[in-house]
Structure 1
């Protein structure tokens, strides 16, 4: 186990971990340098179990026993060890679970390959809140969504907060970033998917009345946190779906709405694709 005790927070070998709280800096640095940060022992373990490869580890001493087997799987990868106060000085925040890893960012997945193996996909337009995005991925993993597609301006699923909120589900659910929006929706439709937009407005079908069981392949479109789906995305959709509201509430948070839609439109393998009656 190549443990490397740290003498100072300004060690040049720790460049991957500096300024983790500077969102704009990290969003520019991490994709450009082909890395992302996995935070907490559980998320780190899920990353390596998904086949992702670490560049280095950064650990508080008390987390060494819990992650010894993970570190041992990568004998040539340095594991930097420092007291929690030093970790906070390096990263810019207090680590409640003192374990980080700088991971090699996996290669992008081709759209065609994702669609070929999928029956239920989520398509996300311009979702910029990493907490919401992580929550959507966690619901997708739990409720049988086979893939997530992101518009070019959507947030990074491998940003630290998105990874943490998803509890590592971003490693479990295949995803791809579309190159053209909404143009690439034509490729989704050509692969046999019905495009169902989660949107308010005249003509929208209540989600519980939509015959999801009749659609072998279904793509659920989700919009931004404030404005919802754009007119251009709605124009590409085959149907608009809405979740009936009560108590004077006009809509749900997009992550909550996604979970409801994923459940209502789930695909059941047990009876040849038909969904059970709800």
Structure 2
């Protein structure tokens, strides 16, 4: 259905994306063919897909009918509505749903990652993309972790935040760690990542464990002492002399790979 008026209320779900990620309106926004397709196949009910004529045609030919309204707009109209030139030419909005409980997210999991204080949305998106690519079953969010459904996180993750189960622990910065007992009681071996030279080698920390929870902290400060005390072991990634740390998404990716390697070797 063609919409030529940028003020048409049917476009309100994607309006002013340059000013808001729409989380305050209870929405999830996806951009581009691949991410939109992952939104459509996710647990989030899609309200509409908006795009250029050729983008909508390509979407249907590639992924099939989405089962929601599809609105055609030209480039100028879309730019006026969202607030910038959206060259991808395809955007979708969906309703948020009730968040998963931690017990639901880990019910069939063997490998999970726990995030404390990771507040950068691009890091969150990168972590989810890395986790999805390396057999991590769920992402658990501690205090200070940013919203995975923020528009930038969805985009950077290539839509994997829409596919990978995630849940948030209750509690503040000095209390959320008590909930890690849920993982220990479920049989997870809890490993906190730290650059401390006194920590054990990551490969040693992971060897021989059927279920593992890898915990990473924010850029700079890393994990709190409260969090590390709640884990079974502190592990380090060996680094070349003169370096002190990795980007959190990079460190997590290395840990995910080492976890994969330990499983295949075991």
TM-score (norm. length: structure 2): 0.90
Deviation at 1:175, TM superposition (A): 0.8
SS of equivalent to 1:183: helix
Gapped runs of 5+ residues in structure 2? none
Number of the residue aligned with 1:271? none
Number of the residue aligned with 1:199? 194
Contact 1:213 1:275 in 2 (8 A): no
Contact 1:120 1:266 in 2 (8 A): no
Q: 1:71 to 1:257 in 2, by over 3 A?
A: same
Contact 2:44 2:94 in 1 (8 A): yes
State the alpha-carbon separation in 2 of the partners of residues 9 and 126 from structure 1.
39
State the alpha-carbon separation in 1 of the partners of residues 177 and 125 from structure 2.
23
Number of the residue aligned with 1:20? 17
Number of the residue aligned with 1:230? 224
State the alpha-carbon separation in 2 of the partners of residues 247 and 183 from structure 1.
35
State the alpha-carbon separation in 2 of the partners of residues 224 and 66 from structure 1.
40
- Trace 1:172-251 onto structure 2 (pairs within 5 A): 172-180=163-171, 181-201=176-196, 203-210=198-205, 212-251=206-245
Deviation at 1:68, TM superposition (A): 2.5
Deviation at 1:171, TM superposition (A): 2.2
Is 1:265 equivalent to 2:262 in the alignment? no
SS of equivalent to 1:122: strand
TM-score (norm. length: structure 1): 0.87
State the alpha-carbon separation in 1 of the partners of residues 147 and 84 from structure 2.
21
State the alpha-carbon separation in 2 of the partners of residues 33 and 91 from structure 1.
15
Deviation at 1:38, TM superposition (A): 0.9
Contact 1:140 1:259 in 2 (8 A): yes
Is 1:62 equivalent to 2:54 in the alignment? yes
Number of the residue aligned with 2:41? 49
State the alpha-carbon separation in 2 of the partners of residues 218 and 267 from structure 1.
13
Q: Which of 3, 7, 13 is the equivalent residue of 1:10? A: 7
Number of the residue aligned with 2:142? 151
Contact 1:124 1:221 in 2 (8 A): yes
Deviation at 1:13, TM superposition (A): 2.9
Q: How many residues align?
A: 261
SS of equivalent to 1:228: coil
Q: Which of 155, 160, 163 is the equivalent residue of 2:154? A: 163
